[in-house]
Every structure is written in C-alpha cells, then in structure tokens.
Chain A
C-alpha cells in the first residue's frame, strides 16, 4: 500500500510537469497544426537561465528566496521572448508551405537551441540551487516533500489560470475561434498573427515554469534534458487528444501516474523479466494502445471522414 501511494505521489508530481509542458505543444498544435519540436528546448533554456540568474544574484549577496523568484521571472521572460522569436523568425514565413516543411524547421531550431545552450552552459551537468527548504511529510506510510506539494499546487493553479484566460477573456475567445478555423476566424476580424504569437508566448511561459520545477525537483540540469521531457510531454498531449487543453492536462497527469506505477510494479508484473529500466517504454506503449481504441486521443474531437 505504501509503495502504491508513494508512486501515486511521484506520478502526480512528474505528471504536473508533463502537463505544463504538454500545454505548450497542444496550444500551438491546436491553432496552427504544427508540432513545435523545439518546445522541449525552450523548457531546457528556462531551467538553465534560472541556474545562471540565481547563481549570479546569490554571488552578489541577494538572499536565496529573492534570487529564486528573480530566477523564475527571468526564465519566464527569456522563454517568452524565445517563443515569440521562434514563431516570428522560423515559423511565420512558412504558414503556406507544405505540411512537413515547418516540422523540419522545428527540428532544425531544436538542434540550434540545444547547441547554443551547450556553448553557453557547457557539456556538464549543472546543479540546480536549492530554492526551497527540505521539509519532509509522511502520510499513510508514504513520504513526500514540500517541493512536491508546491509543484503540484503551482501547476494546478497555473492550469486553472490558463483555463480562465482561454474561456473568459477576449484573447482566449480569439484563440478558440482560430483553432476551430483559421481562415474563418481571420475573416471575422481576429488578428491571427497576434493569436498565434500569444499561443507561443503563453506556451513558452508555462514551459519556463515547468523548467524551474524540473530543476527544483531533480536538482540537476543539462543541455540535453529538453529532448526526452519534450517527447514525453508531446506524448501526453497526444494521449489526451492534441489541440485540447484539458486533454493535455489530464494526459500529462495520466502519463506521470502510469510511468510511476509502471516503474514500481513492472518487476512484479513480469516475474522479474523486465526491470524498471523499461520505464520509458510505458509512455509509448500506453500511447499506442490508447490510440488504437481512441484514434483521436482520450479527449480529442472525433474527426470522421467528411464527404
């Protein structure tokens, strides 16, 4: 029982992070049908910027808590700028290009960002500063930390805020209209460029937040960390039904839970044949199985053949 609960907690934490990153993928995809492969790198840059800013401020004698907040804000600002520039420079000129063209551009941008990060921050693993005090809780035999609680809470609040933004503001309405039909929305006077830019900027801000969370949680960062994280988050977005905000959130949480439980139990389930190093397989196996039965993801709209 305690292992079960422990893994649920771990899964929730990991899942919240996936969900935040998945939102960045799903927003962009929902509006312009593009898999923004470079989104994982945006998250990575968020983490690394925080490390640099916090390190610098602490060296200057700023208290850690204040430096942490500044680091987070800096990461969000840098990532928003990065997301905006990505769209403006790389993707906007390709709006009318064949379908795979922006995908290759996204891959190219991902390679560029990764290697720029390597030039700036080096090849080595970096230690993420301890922004939060180590506080442990115990509940029904399972241990968890303040960091975990805060990650889950902040994610939940942020996602709530995003839903409010999308369903209660004019910008949100424009975004929803655009994701229904770009041409029509544009005819109705929606400023498409602004909406798409907003999707990138908001997605990147969420990514930066997720990046800081990953750093705080694992206390380590690396220029290649964005790749697997992005891949998993994208998987989560597809699992939930890509283009669907609630789907991305639930898909992320679900993926986190599945991975954690899978890693905890796979040895027992297969009689020791498969060990926990198969953890990364779960994401994909679950994805394939779900899509076999629900071809548009768990919460995606059914897009049938229209004649």
Chain B
C-alpha cells in the first residue's frame, strides 16, 4: 500500500442503545479501490455518514490527506475532497441532468450573489467553465444525450451514473459509492465496473460499499468486512473470501 489517504481511528457511533459502529479502524491508500462489505445493518452506511459529516461520531475520528477531518459539517467534507453517492439515489429530481452536475461544481467555484446579479466577466467565465465541465462529465459517464432531461425522468442506471458524475464534479480525492450496483442488471453492472475502474485509473481513490460480492471481489484492491458494527477483517479479496468469520457473518452463524 502506498501513501495513506484516509485513516479511520476507532470510529464509534450509537443510536440510543444500538451500537452501529464499534471502534472501527481502517486505512485506505491513495489510488485504491477499497471495498466495504457486510450484511444488512452491519453499519456500512453509518460509516459513510460519519465520514461525510452527516453524522457526528461518538468516538474516534478520521484523518484525511494528512490532516484531521472535522466532523461538524458535510459541506466541509466535500470541500476537503470527499464526495459520495447515496444508497437510495438522491438526485435533485426537478433539475436537469446537466444542472445536477453543475451543482456538483459548487465547492470548486466562487461566484456569489453580486456576481450573479452584475454578470461581470469573471462570473460569466466561471459559469461557462462550470457548464463545460459538467458537459464533459456527462460524456465521461456516457449520459450526455440526457443532459436536458429532468433527473427524475432518467432510467435507474442512468440516475446512478448521474449521481457519480455529480460527485466527480467536485474533483474529489476520495469517491464514496454506496451500493452503486443495487438494482442493476448484469449488463448495467458490467458497465458500472468499467466506469469505476476508469475513475480509479484517472486518479481518484474509491471507497465502495456493495452487496454484490462478485463485483467487490473482482474490482477491489482490498476489502473490509463489517459485522454488527465491528470490523471483522481487512485484507485483499482472496484472503477475505476464505476467512471463516466472513463466511459465518454472511451465512448467519
């Protein structure tokens, strides 16, 4: 493993009496595709929410790109270079696909109210750049022909792709994908695998939560398994697949 991009140290989160995360520690290297798997309710999404600032952890914390990640506001996580998608797709339904990606540029652009009202040269240039970048990203995820359709009118697979494009618009160092293959058919999953692989090759580290074990094992460099909020194992797919505890967790011992 090369340089560590994200280090989670003893992250804990509980809801009332339920311990959703029990001191989870793991490290993701720059340039990796890192898989996070586990049965339903194992705490994968909770981990995501802590990482992206939607939840404040009750213990532990994250170090990202060498500096601690303050778990106070989600918008800061995005500014630091962490982008995410959601398990149950969350697009801006009544905005067009293009606008969705343009919103994704928010943290990397500056224009304010006065710029918008006065339409000065800098604002116009920035706006044009936002639009161009968004169009490029739609091409990148291959849904450029749906640019002017409302997000909610896109097919399921295209919505997944749009959400990834929106996340990529913030030029993240770490892209967190929450079950991107859920509900996809075999062809769509294959396309998604290529897309994720391509994103990694273009230099973005990926954290992947996924139920499709085949996809995870085929795609990821390393895999961590969560069960009842605790980390069971963190290793290369070949080792994880053979681990007795993982097999038990999945089969429900």
Interface residues of B in 27-68 (CB under 8 A from A): 45, 48-49, 54
Nearest-neighbour CB distance to chain A for B198, whole angstroms, equals 26
A33–B87 alpha-carbon span in the complex (Å): 26
Chain B interface residue count, CB cutoff 8 Å, equals 7
The prevalent SS among residues of A at the interface is: loop
Chain A interface residue count, CB cutoff 8 Å, equals 2
Residue interface mask B89-101, A partner, CB < 8 A = 1: 0100000000000
Contacts of B48 in A (CB 8 A): 307
Residue interface mask B110-151, A partner, CB < 8 A = 1: 000000000000000000000000000000000000000000
Contacts of A138 in B (CB 8 A): none
Interface residues of A in 268-307 (CB under 8 A from B): 305, 307
Q: Is B86 an interface residue (CB 8 A)?
A: yes
Contacts of A305 in B (CB 8 A): 54
Interface residues of A in 228-285 (CB under 8 A from B): none
A305–B45 alpha-carbon span in the complex (Å): 13
Contacts of B86 in A (CB 8 A): 307
A307–B87 alpha-carbon span in the complex (Å): 8
A305–B90 alpha-carbon span in the complex (Å): 13
Contacts of B87 in A (CB 8 A): 307
A124–B11 alpha-carbon span in the complex (Å): 68
Contacts of B45 in A (CB 8 A): 307
Interface residues of A in 195-245 (CB under 8 A from B): none
Interface residues of B in 66-94 (CB under 8 A from A): 86-87, 90
Nearest-neighbour CB distance to chain B for A181, whole angstroms, equals 15
A305–B55 alpha-carbon span in the complex (Å): 9
Smallest CB gap from B48: residue in A: A307
A307–B48 alpha-carbon span in the complex (Å): 9
Contacts of B49 in A (CB 8 A): 307
Contacts of A307 in B (CB 8 A): 45, 48-49, 54, 86-87, 90
A-B pairs, 5 with minimum CB distance:
A307-B49, A307-B54, A305-B54, A307-B86, A307-B45
Sample 8 A-B pairs with CB under 8 A, ordered by A number: A305-B54, A307-B45, A307-B48, A307-B49, A307-B54, A307-B86, A307-B87, A307-B90
Tell me the A residues contacting B by CB distance below 8 Å: 305, 307
Contacts A305-B54, A307-B49, A307-B90 given; 5 further ones with Cβ under 8 A?
A307-B45, A307-B48, A307-B54, A307-B86, A307-B87
